[in-house]
Amino acid sequence: VIIVIRKEASAEEIGTVETTLKELGYGVHPITGVERTVIAAVGAPGHDKEDAAEQLRALPHVEDVIFILKPYKFVAKEYHPEKSTVKVGNVTIGGDQVVIMAGPCTVESREQLLTTARAVKAAGATILRGGAYKPSTSPYSFQGMGLDGLKLLAEAREETGLPIITEVMHVRHIEQVAAYADILQIGTRNMQNYEILEEVGKINKPVMLKRGMTAKIEEWLQAAEYIFIGGNKEVILCERGVRTFEQYTRNTLDLSAVLAVRELSHLPIVVDPSQGTGRASMIAGMSKAAVAVGADALIIEVHPHPERALKDGAQSITIPAFDRLMTELPAVAQAVGRSL
């Protein structure tokens, strides 16, 4: 850590800070500049370095404490310079091929799910999405079919051969959801639900961790680190838009996050243009942009009748619109050296 000393501190007062740092176990390197003295403190006390840096802010004469190290380890590129891949059935996420996950926001009925599953498979999707447990801002909103939804997803997998991804919302459902799903999705509201992060760290199924609505990249990687520490190394990240002042779109889809994750981490990254924009009209355009920027996969909401969807109709595209998109995406993938 770098400790910036207030300008008005005397040499004696600076000495006190140095003594305290040494008592806390740091190696101390003071540097006297023209306008400020800074102290580089090297090495670390027994407990967490960030906690320790936070303590130092409370010292007298300290103007600022700058933490240099990255606050995650196993998910960092430094730890694992090669890109990681996650395999689900015969689908590889993080390889050369861009993976398309598609399906309804929420499982509503056998017919709705199977119609959609067949259609997205026919169009070239290789993973089926569908919510059985749905988080809702409003307690009066439809909360999903639960176990019945999971069973329908399993039936759709049976018929189409598509692996399924579905959200786990409650820690007490993890076992149940894991029994049906091929990939467990952690939603944006649960990105810092440490109880769930710790539990999915112990299971033997891939986990897709959505970025929190206002999570910094760093916090998102720290959340992924929680899962890694538990022992589960099959973690996939998913950018789904962040909250800003803009109201025209539901969220602001941050495609530079794909590049940031690539620079900082080895984890594969998915983009969700449905949640990311909240507008069906923008899904095709943002899907192409996501592939062009280097996303490893897309997750797209498709519904046979968006105007009758029980949830999120406005951000679901129709089956014909999905078909059209799937004919357009391969050229973009090839243009950036990938296949689809």
- Scan residues 246-265 and list those touching a second copy (CB under 8 A): 246-249, 252-256, 258-260, 263-264
Which 224-243 residues touch a second copy, going by CB under 8 A?
225-226, 229, 242-243
The residue among 3 and 162 lying less far from a second copy, judged by its C-beta, is 3
Which residues inside 42-61 make contact with a second copy, applying CB under 8 A?
42-44, 47-51, 54-59
* Closer residue to a second copy, CB minimum distance, 162 or 317: 317
Interface residue with a second copy, options 117, 127, 183, 291 (CB under 8 A): 291
Scan for tokens 């590889």, then name that residue: 92
The correct pick among 114, 147, 292, 321 for binding a second copy (CB under 8 A) is: 292
Separation of alpha carbons 90 and 97, rounded Å: 12
User: Within positions 182 to 201, which residues make up the interface with a second copy, using CB under 8 A?
Assistant: 189-190, 192-195
In the numeric block, the tokens 């639960």 are attached to: 146
Instruction: DSSP for 118-171, please give it.
Output: HHHHHHT--EEE-BSS---SSTTS----THHHHHHHHHHHHHH---EEEE--SG
Q: Which of residues 297-316 bind a second copy (CB under 8 A)?
A: 306-314, 316
Footprint (CB under 8 A) of a second copy, residues 128-157: 135-142
- Interior CA angle at 272 toward 142 and 128, to 5°? 70
Interaction between residue 158 and a second copy (CB under 8 A): no
Stretch of 119-127, 157-165, 178-186, 282-290 contacting a second copy, by CB under 8 A: 282-290
Residues 6+ apart with CB under 8 A from 236: 86, 93, 94, 183, 206, 207, 208, 209, 267, 268, 269, 270, 296, 297
322 binds a second copy (CB under 8 A): no
* Residue 285 engages a second copy in binding (rule: CB under 8 A): yes
Is the Cα dihedral 113, 181, 144, 251 positive or negative?
Answer: negative
Angle between helices 283-293 and 319-335 in degrees, nearest 10 = 20
**Does 320 participate in binding a second copy (rule CB under 8 A)?**
no
- Name which of 47 and 158 has its Cβ closer to a second copy: 47
Reduced to 3 states, what is the DSSP secondary structure of residue 323?
Answer: helix
How many whole angstroms separate alpha carbon 303 and alpha carbon 104?
5
Q: Which residues inside 62-101 make contact with a second copy, applying CB under 8 A?
A: 64, 66, 68-69, 71-72, 78
Closest approach, Cβ 18 to a second copy, in A, equals 14
Nearer to a second copy by Cβ, of 93 and 255: the residue is 255
Residue 239, both tokens = 């950018």
Q: Considering beta carbons, is residue 22 or 194 the nearer one to a second copy?
A: 194
Token pair for 53: 């840096």
130 close to 301: Cβ distance less than 8 angstroms: no
- Among residues 99, 145, 208, 280, the one that binds a second copy under rule CB under 8 A: 280
First to last CA, the chain: 45
In angstroms, what is the minimal distance from the CB of 65 to a second copy? 8
